[in-house]
C-alpha cells in the first residue's frame, strides 16, 4: 500500500542556488513517514516513547535525481517492506514526486528499542502488518 502526502517547499529551505537544500529532502520524507507510522501502522511515536518503546532509524540510502524549487507543490510517498533476512527491522521505501517525475528516492530502515536499553525488536502489532508487506529485495 502506497501512502501519499502533499507538501509545498518552504521558502526557508531554498539555498543560494535557488533550489532546495539537500538536507531538507529527508525531513519531508520523515514528515510523511511519521504520519504513515501512525495512520497505517497504528504506532504513535510519542505515545509509545512514553511507554518506553522508541522507534529509531538504523540506516538510510537516498538518491537525488532532480531539484525542488521555491513554491513547488510535491508529493511524498511511503510504502512498507519486510526484511528479507527476517531481522527485527522494517523498511520504508519513499519517493518525492513533482509533476509525475521522481525527484528523490530513498529507503529508510528502522526498528524498535527499549528506552532503557536492550535488543532491537518489533511490537506484535507491527509484525502483523509485515505479514502482508512485500519483502525488500535491494
Confidence of residue 138 (pLDDT cuts 50, 70, 90): low
Residue 136 counted as domain residue = no
Q: What pLDDT, on a 0 to 100 scale, did the predictor assign at position 2?
A: 87
Residue 137 domain-assigned? no
Strand extents, DSSP E, the chain = 2-8, 53-64, 73-82, 90-98, 101-114
Tell me the per-residue pLDDT of 51-100, one tens digit each, with 9 for 90 and over: 999 999 999 999 999 999 999 999 999 999 999 998 999 999 999 999 99
pLDDT averaged over the chain?
A: 96
Residue 85: inside a domain: yes
Residue 22 falls inside a structural domain: yes
User: Three cell numbers at 11?
Assistant: 521558502
Long-range contact list for 84-92, CB < 8 A, 24+ apart? 84/135, 84/136, 84/137, 87/111, 87/120, 88/112, 88/120, 88/121, 88/122, 89/58, 89/120, 89/122, 90/122, 90/126, 90/130, 91/136, 92/33, 92/36
We report the CATH number of the domain holding residue 19 as 3.10.129.10
**More confident: 86 or 9:** 9
Amino acid at each position: 500500500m502506497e501512502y501519499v502526502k502533499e507538501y509545498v517547499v518552504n521558502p526557508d529551505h531554498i539555498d543560494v542556488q535557488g533550489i532546495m537544500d539537500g538536507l531538507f529532502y529527508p525531513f519531508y520524507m520523515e514528515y510523511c513517514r511519521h504520519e504513515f507510522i501512525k495512520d497505517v501502522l497504528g504506532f504513535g511515536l510519542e505515545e509509545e516513547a512514553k511507554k518506553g518503546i522508541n522507534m529509531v532509524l538504523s540506516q538510510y540510502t537516498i538518491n537525488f535525481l532532480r531539484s525542488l524549487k521555491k513554491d513547488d507543490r510535491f508529493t511524498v510517498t511511503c510504502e512498507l517492506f519486510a526484511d528479507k533476512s527476517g531481522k527485527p527491522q522494517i523498511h520504508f521505501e519513499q519517493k518525492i514526486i513533482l509533476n509525475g517525475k521522481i525527484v528523490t528516492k530513498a529507503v529508510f530502515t528502522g526498528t524498535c528499542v527499549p528506552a532503557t536499553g536492550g535488543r532491537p525488536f518489533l511490537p506484535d502489532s507491527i509484525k502483523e502488518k509485515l505479514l502482508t508487506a512485500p519483502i525488500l529485495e535491494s
